[in-house]
Structures are given as C-alpha cells and as structure tokens.
Amino acid sequence: MKYVLPLGILLCLPMLLWATHGHWIDHYRSADGVSCCGMQDCVKVAARLVEDRGTMWHAEVNGTSVVLPKKSVHLSEEPAAYWCYNAQAPCPPPQLEISSACGRCLFVGVGG
C-alpha cells in the first residue's frame, strides 16, 4: 500500500507534462512580442513567400496578398501552413479574414 501513491504519481507524470506542453504554435511570438496563440486561433492555409521587403515579407495566403513583419512569419513545424488571426483587430472569429490588418502570424509549410 505504501507504494500506491508514488506509483500513481509516476504513472500520471507523462500526462501532466503533455498537458502543460501545449501545441508547437503556442511557443511562437509575433513582431509585437505577443503570442501567435494556439490552434484555436489558426487555420490551415495555402501560403507562400513572394518577396523579401527588408523588415517585411510579402506573402500570398489562400490567393490573397498580405504584407507582414518578418518577426511574425515563421517556418511551420509541420508540412502544412497556418494563418493565425489577430482577435484584437477588427476581424475577430469566426470571420478569420486574411488581410495584413488581421494577421498575427503566418507559419509557412516546408516540403508539404
């Protein structure tokens, strides 16, 4: 009986670590230093970088031209690309508008 509590803690530890880890998108920040947010704020898109404009990237997201600060554009950790919207902008969910004003972060998929 004296081993039940330590054994229970040991068995639950992997679940606790997984629950606090979150999704990989949660760990990235926009140019404003704000979290890119999580999967609830991002949608899969077709995206490609079009032109390097110094401190900005001109990109195409689902056929729409956008310009975002370079610090808001990241390589995706999956082959898929993701568009993360800015809920504080005049375009909250469920609209998920793709525009320079509504974008918080863009994750560009590589090899997908």
pLDDT, one tens digit per residue, over 72-88 is 999 999 999 999 987 77
What's residue 102's pLDDT? 87
10 Å CB burial of residue 17 (0-12, 13-18, 19+) is exposed
Residue found under tokens 């530890």: 13
Q: Three-state DSSP class for 18?
A: helix
What's residue 13's pLDDT? 40
Q: pTM of the predicted model, to two decimals?
A: 0.75
What's residue 8's pLDDT? 45
The residues, ordered by sequence, that sit 6+ positions from 109 with a Cβ below 8 Å of its Cβ are 47, 76, 78, 79, 80, 81, 82
The residues, ordered by sequence, that sit 6+ positions from 39 with a Cβ below 8 Å of its Cβ are 23, 25
Per-residue pLDDT, averaged over 90-99, amounts to 70
Q: Is the pLDDT of residue 6 over 80?
A: no
Per-residue pLDDT, averaged over 50-59, amounts to 97
